[in-house]
Structure 1
Amino acid sequence: MCGILGTVEAGGTSPKRFQQMLDLIRHRGPDAESTYRHGNVTLGHRRLAIIDLKTGDQPIFNEDHSIAVIYNGEIYNYKEIREELKALGHHFCTESDTEILVHGYESWGTDFFHRLNGIFAFAILDQRQDSLILVRDHFGIKPLHYTHQNGLFAFASEQKPLLLHPSTPRELNLQSLHTHLNLRYTQNDQTLFQGIYRLPPAHYLVYRNKQINIHKYWELTPEIRDDMTENEAVAHLHEYLRQAVKRQLISDVPLGVYLSGGMDSSVIVQKMSELGVPDIKTFTLGFNEPTDEFPDAERVARHFNTDHHTLSLSMEPLKMFPEVLWHAEEPKINLLQGFNMSAFVKPHVSVVLGGLGGDELLAGYDIHRFIYPLNRLHNRIPGWMKKIGDIKSRILFRMEQNTGVLRLDEYRRGLQMLLALGQIEKYYLILRNVWDYDNPMYDQIYHRGMAQQMRAESLKVHKAFDPFFQKVNHMSALDQVLFTEFHTKMVNDYLLVEDRMSMSHSVEERVPFLDLDLVQFGFSVPAGLKMKGNRTKDLFRKAMEPYLPEKITQKKKWGFTVNPYLQFKKDLKDVCEKVLTRDIVEKQGLFNYEYIRKILDAPPHPRLRWHYNFLWVIMGLAVWQKMFIESDAFAERHFDLESYMN
């Protein structure tokens, strides 16, 4: 893995400024640094050496140096493509996967991109056509951001370098803010910074003559095989999993596994063992909470005789929150575990395999248990019942709010979800705690001067989900949700966290469940095989019963995640009291302090999970604003929590 950076501006970016920008992503590539200039274009690269440790420095060029590439990622099928290109007459100067990018583009142009199987974000400078091309992998595993304003076009693996350039205004994106408050992540190509965008997965961007054009090079189109038998599905699942893990073992440095004790990471260990990988290193993290999975992880480690390591976090994890936020670039809930985990594994390995993607492919989340039983019912609700349900939902919200009892909020959401039957998108969004449908919430959440502005129809959260649900509206409700989550929450929440937190300590994380062939197979399996009797991952559990301890195949999912109720009692409340003072909240002008105060003063209760998550996000946003918008704290790396409390 690496960090990439590029700018295009009249006269080129000054060397001093560009070096400062490049320094902000040195954690992504501590092994080497390079800068290349051509006319108005400046390219920078920070390298984390994984493959071809001796000759893999970048940029890498084609034979006549007319095409250059800087690259972040791993191409798992690069050896096959390399042989094809050699047969076409191309000459290779390195053993790295990077070099196939310049030769592949030279031979096949942009039609080449869809043939890559891997995790990647790269930039190709085509001097012949005076163009710059940015490309992001099929599922958005590796990040790529860009901005185009005030005479500057720039891109980077992270947003910090773009903010450091004087042509980039530091402004909060209100649309992303509203989405983030509802979902706890930003959606589509938006970031919390106005004018900074993410290149969507499976897309490439062409910058030529000061113009941007963005194109899609590949699209996931589910083709459900209703005739697939369970035995056939099990056989194929093993085949594709084994192939995916084998592909992702390529490395010239040591690698290990994030072992949560759940099914997905345990299966990766099982496949590595099956493939004969010696001395498998596994790593597990806990939070000093009852849900810690140390015993299950140790059970798997013993079963496969791995070299196992464990880490338990401190009781005051928020002390390091500013540093974690600096890496994430947006306030999120589940950051601390990944940050600490990558710091823990770095002395042992530089590459880890993780289980992300298994739940999205094979229906493993608890929310799927709320969808599966009503799978067929959604298509049978008449229109007039949907309208009545909408009316009753609004009445129910007012009734619950009039009680003033915060813990009733969770029950009210459950009833509103049932009243949305027949509207799978609305049903799903309520299940994900979106409050966009409840107009009075705007007055509770937002500052009196902001509430009406945030009610704008263009800001509605559902608009970002409409295209995904509409594309697969002929499929079952569960299939629609799996497809939508794969393109939304997985990309913009889970994968963002995995990338930022692993790279915070220069660790490359790979995700075998997002192998291109395995994903396409996963979206061919009928929902009725993935879940049975409302048991999540039924097919997956049956497939792995002969290979894993019974306790693992039967357990409830938890994973590397924090409990917001327990976190509130640890140090979340104390930190929020100091960061979210009345003066700070009023000066910020975004949120309603009285509602914040009401949550802080309420007796702690497990039913207030949403409220504690809300506090976490807005506390993080207050720190984020001071760090990235109001000062140069991000450039100066100010990580002392106390400095953000006044």
Structure 2
Amino acid sequence: MVGMLGFFGKKNGEISFDQVLKDLCYTGDEVLDTYHDEQLKIGLAQHPTFFEEQPVDLEDDLKLWVWGTSFGYFQSDSYVNRAQISGDSSGLDCFKQAYDRYGSDFIQHVNGDYCGVLYDNSQNKIQLFTNRLASRPIFYLSTDRAIYFSSSIQPLISINDEEVTLSDDFLAEYLILRRVLGEKTPIDEISKVPPASSLTYDPTSGVNISNYWMPKYAYSEQSKDELCERFLDILTDNMNTLVGSYDKLGVLLSGGSDSRLIASLIDEPELYHMTYWKESTETQTAKKIARHLDTELTILETDEGYYERALEENPKMMDFMGLFTQGHASLFDQVYKDDVDVMITAQFMDTFFKGYVYPEKKLKCHIITTYRFRIIKVPLRLMKLWTY
């Protein structure tokens, strides 16, 4: 697990910032990088593979931190790919060049998978921002003295001495949908920066959120075949951008159409499949896909106590996305750790296109009536299987 943690203003209590930052580390291989002055303290936990030294000095009193990366930026009539900037450039170079060209509006032009922090020391303010889809979340908790922010919910509870409360409404929404829609969370005091938005905080004005982009419907008269071809071209280009610089790629393969599509777009991937029963239909389908791709398939078989052991580790990564019992393949990381640079967990995405991997969950609720107890069953579909 990796991510970002920080606060701006007067911190409450004596809880160690560095200790809470270490909670963002899961494997122990993460690289920690911190910065602090009189107003701001911020830390990043990064994978060694993706490590980039931060902050980026955009100007003398303007510093930038990014969790994630950029693939390029949009100009008025063209697109600048990351590799076009300076050959084998980092994603941070894209932010710097976009800022040099567009100034304070640079975020709306940057394409990538990221969230970030912009610190203006001269104006005594901080800005938290997300990309167009908020694909990497940034949560925040504001008090009358400071704002705390993190890529994960639990560190915000740990680092802030003030009590937090569970929201009955949003906790119920999470239990039914496996997530909370919008910018709220099951914790009343903690919210999430919306997609394509920036949150500005200063001690005088407090929190102000503005949106910088909205999707626009683009009518098309293309046929289904033409749209499928366009979809494949876009997906292929994006896969090349995402994974093109890594030598050894792994794919956690299911029997679904989505994971086989992803595996087919990668040149000589290492294929893995997690299962609780080797003779299951999905496992046999995964084997057929691997044979078709002429690639060996490594089976990751769970035992009866697997999820009980996983529950000792997974809850600390829980952000109310999916079930706390998920993070399915987390205990197998030592199996593939030395064999791949990046693992694409395509096995748990089946609801993106079709079907359900695991049996439908049911919740039994006891409802009190005048004369008796009545038991009802409420189906809880697996609406999102990606935990992190």
- Please tell me the TM-score bracket, short chain as reference: 0.7 to 0.9
Residue in structure 1 matching 2:379, options 597, 610, 621: 610
Superposition deviation, residue 563 in structure 1: 5.1
Q: 1:207 to 1:137 in 2, by over 3 A?
A: same
The one-letter code matched in structure 1 to 2:70 is I
> Is it true that 1:49 corresponds to 2:48 in the alignment?
yes
The answer as to whether partners of 2:98 and 2:109 remain within 8 angstroms in 1 is no
Distance 1:191 1:164 in 2: 16
Listed as ranges, the matches of 1:211-226 within 5 Å are: 211-225=206-220
Q: 1:193 to 1:269 in 2, by over 3 A?
A: same
Distance 2:378 2:169 in 1: 24
Q: Give the secondary structure class of the aligned counterpart of 2:26.
A: helix
| Partner of residue 313, structure 2 | 323
Provide the identity percentage.
20
The answer as to whether partners of 1:154 and 1:162 remain within 8 angstroms in 2 is yes
The answer as to whether partners of 2:115 and 2:138 remain within 8 angstroms in 1 is yes
| Partner of residue 289, structure 2 | 300
Distance 1:81 1:289 in 2: 43
| Partner of residue 635, structure 1 | none
Distance 1:350 1:15 in 2: 38
Which TM-score applies when normalising by structure 1? 0.51
Residue in structure 1 matching 2:170, options 152, 160, 176: 176
The answer as to whether partners of 1:7 and 1:13 remain within 8 angstroms in 2 is no
Q: Give the secondary structure class of the aligned counterpart of 1:50.
A: helix
Residue in structure 1 matching 2:230, options 227, 233, 236: 236
The one-letter code matched in structure 2 to 1:39 is E
Superposition deviation, residue 60 in structure 1: 2.9
| Partner of residue 389, structure 1 | none
Which deviations, in whole Å up to 9, do the C-alpha atoms of 1:548-583 show, x marking residues without a partner? xxxxxxxxx344x35547xx9xxxxxxx9xxxxxxx
Q: 1:598 to 1:47 in 2, by over 3 A?
A: same
The one-letter code matched in structure 2 to 1:4 is M
Larger CA deviation: 101-110 vs 113-122: 101-110
Residue in structure 1 matching 2:253, options 254, 259, 269: 259
Superposition deviation, residue 119 in structure 1: 1.2
> Is it true that 1:118 corresponds to 2:112 in the alignment?
yes
| Partner of residue 144, structure 1 | 138
Superposition deviation, residue 168 in structure 1: 3.6
Listed as ranges, the matches of 1:415-564 within 5 Å are: 557-559=355-357, 561-562=358-359, 564=361
Superposition deviation, residue 330 in structure 1: 3.4
Q: 1:150 to 1:342 in 2, by over 3 A?
A: farther
Distance 1:128 1:66 in 2: 6
Q: Give the secondary structure class of the aligned counterpart of 2:243.
A: coil
Which deviations, in whole Å up to 9, do the C-alpha atoms of 1:206-241 show, x marking residues without a partner? 12344211112222223242x221332232122112
Instruction: Structure 2: state its 5+ residue gaps.
Output: 74-78, 383-388
Residue in structure 2 matching 1:192, options 141, 163, 186: 186
Distance 2:321 2:238 in 1: 32
Superposition deviation, residue 106 in structure 1: 4.7
The answer as to whether partners of 1:204 and 1:214 remain within 8 angstroms in 2 is yes
| Rg larger for | 1
| Partner of residue 130, structure 1 | 124
Larger CA deviation: 196-205 vs 320-329: 320-329
Q: CA RMSD in A?
A: 3.6
Superposition deviation, residue 291 in structure 1: 5.2
Superposition deviation, residue 357 in structure 1: 7.4
Distance 2:105 2:36 in 1: 27
Q: Give the secondary structure class of the aligned counterpart of 1:77.
A: strand
Instruction: Structure 1: state its 5+ residue gaps.
Output: 87-91, 366-556, 569-575, 577-590, 603-607, 614-646
The one-letter code matched in structure 1 to 2:103 is G
Superposition deviation, residue 143 in structure 1: 1.9
Superposition deviation, residue 123 in structure 1: 1.0
Q: 1:50 to 1:24 in 2, by over 3 A?
A: same
The one-letter code matched in structure 2 to 1:3 is G
Q: 1:229 to 1:103 in 2, by over 3 A?
A: closer
Which deviations, in whole Å up to 9, do the C-alpha atoms of 1:125-166 show, x marking residues without a partner? 123433211111222321211110141201011112211124
The answer as to whether partners of 1:105 and 1:112 remain within 8 angstroms in 2 is yes
> Is it true that 1:202 corresponds to 2:200 in the alignment?
no
Superposition deviation, residue 592 in structure 1: 5.6
The one-letter code matched in structure 1 to 2:91 is D
Q: 1:119 to 1:348 in 2, by over 3 A?
A: same
Q: 1:292 to 1:169 in 2, by over 3 A?
A: farther
